[in-house]
Copies of this chain bind each other. A is one copy, B any other.
């Protein structure tokens, strides 16, 4: 059965896997101190055009969010996210497990508004502010969001301005960053993101790696003894090379961007196929995740032939499903999908 279930249905991109094979026999020191981690960091800094950035690799996305948020927040602070943000809704309580609250502002197709963020933060600074509430100590956004949508450069800058006004770091979760960067509807480059945010991560798991995310601290703000904090959270791999080699491959010859570009092209075609057959979209997504509104009959029929993800039930007779493309999505997959629509 063909699958559009997610962007992590296949193994590694062939070029990533090849690099793992090519380097497999080398003796390397552990815990991320090997030369491939080093090389990958350099390549990422170059891609960000930010020579002073500090790059660290962590195995998975939930883990990355938990590690970054909990090491950067102060004891009395929480992280602000959109109600639909991954850390608010889909992390099984991983942020709260670190002892910190997730504070929420409204989500608009996955995005937060700078104006609403500002209003929210302001309430902690007024005349009547008091110490009985969790203080907003970081702003978390995902880009693309959980609904595939993207912030414009202006929107991101506006959020960053609010953050700067209150000296709160802005953290961008880029689990699917490649798909945002290569969307036709974006004016944000990797360099922009590195400049505008305080910390962000470049997702590998959902963009051609077997596992791994690259955290980029953009302002010399990596927490002290970060390695120890990572280990304390169980997030340090003995064979750190596994992450270094993969990211080295992803940032060689623009592979990371090529993967993004390919998935976007496939998503555009997929979108066209659904549209041509008269399906409605639940949301207008410019990235690799597409959210289609199906009647329950359509849903029951299609899911027998194609692996897709249930998303939500907007009413009693419809179902929203998600289809995702990735590095392994092929024209043949799309053709077969077309037969079942």
Q: Which of A129-137, A190-198, A256-264 contacts B (4 or more CB under 8 A)?
A: A129-137
Q: Which B residues are CB-close (under 8 A) to A188?
A: none
Question: Considering the chains assembled together, what is the distance between the CA atoms of A9 and B223 in angstroms?
Answer: 28
| Given known A21-B21, A26-B11, A211-B242, contact A225–B96 (CB-CB < 8 A) | no
Q: Which B residues are CB-close (under 8 A) to A1?
A: 27
Q: Which of A44-52, A158-166, A226-234, A269-277 contacts B (4 or more CB under 8 A)?
A: A226-234
Best-surrounded residue of A14, A21, A98, A134 (most CB of chain B within 10 A): A134
Indicate if the CB atoms of A92 and B76 lie closer than 8 Å.
yes
Q: Which of A67-75, A105-113, A147-155, A280-288 contacts B (4 or more CB under 8 A)?
A: A67-75
Q: Which B residues are CB-close (under 8 A) to A220?
A: none
Nearest Cβ on chain B to A221's Cβ, whole angstroms: 14
Name the residue of chain B whose CB is nearest to the CB of A310: B128
Indicate if the CB atoms of A231 and B78 lie closer than 8 Å.
no
Q: Which B residues are CB-close (under 8 A) to A94?
A: 231-234
Which residues of chain A from 1 to 36 have any CB-CB distance to chain B below 8 Å in the complex?
A: 1-3, 5-6, 8-12, 14, 17, 20-21, 23-31
Indicate if the CB atoms of B225 and A239 lie closer than 8 Å.
no
Which residues of chain A from 276 to 326 have any CB-CB distance to chain B below 8 Å in the complex?
A: 307, 310
**Residue A206, interface by CB 8 Å:** yes
Question: Considering the chains assembled together, what is the distance between the CA atoms of A57 and B210 in angstroms?
Answer: 15
Nearest Cβ on chain B to A3's Cβ, whole angstroms: 4
Indicate if the CB atoms of B78 and A205 lie closer than 8 Å.
no
Nearest Cβ on chain B to A186's Cβ, whole angstroms: 24
Question: Considering the chains assembled together, what is the distance between the CA atoms of A31 and B10 in angstroms?
Answer: 12
Nearest Cβ on chain B to A305's Cβ, whole angstroms: 13
**Residue A169, interface by CB 8 Å:** no
Nearest Cβ on chain B to A271's Cβ, whole angstroms: 20
Indicate if the CB atoms of A242 and B6 lie closer than 8 Å.
no
Indicate if the CB atoms of B10 and A27 lie closer than 8 Å.
yes
| Given known A27-B307, A29-B307, contact A63–B228 (CB-CB < 8 A) | no
Contact with B along A90-105 (1 / 0, CB 8 A): 1111101111111000
| Given known A101-B93, A233-B94, contact A14–B9 (CB-CB < 8 A) | no
**Residue A236, interface by CB 8 Å:** yes
Indicate if the CB atoms of A232 and B29 lie closer than 8 Å.
no
Q: Which B residues are CB-close (under 8 A) to A27?
A: 1-3, 5, 9-10, 307, 328
**Residue A89, interface by CB 8 Å:** yes
Q: Which B residues are CB-close (under 8 A) to A128?
A: 310
Q: Which B residues are CB-close (under 8 A) to A224?
A: 74, 76
**Residue A238, interface by CB 8 Å:** yes
Q: Which B residues are CB-close (under 8 A) to A78?
A: 93, 96
Q: A20: which of B11, B228, B237 is its contact (CB, 8 Å)?
A: B11
Q: What is the interface of chain A, defined by CB distance below 8 A to chain B? A: 1-3, 5-6, 8-12, 14, 17, 20-21, 23-31, 59-67, 70-71, 74-76, 78, 89-94, 96-102, 128, 131-135, 205-206, 210-211, 223-225, 227-229, 231-239, 241-242, 307, 310, 328
Residue contacts A-B, CB under 8 angstroms, 13 given: A1-B27, A5-B27, A9-B27, A11-B26, A12-B24, A17-B24, A20-B20, A63-B234, A78-B96, A94-B233, A131-B227, A131-B231, A211-B238
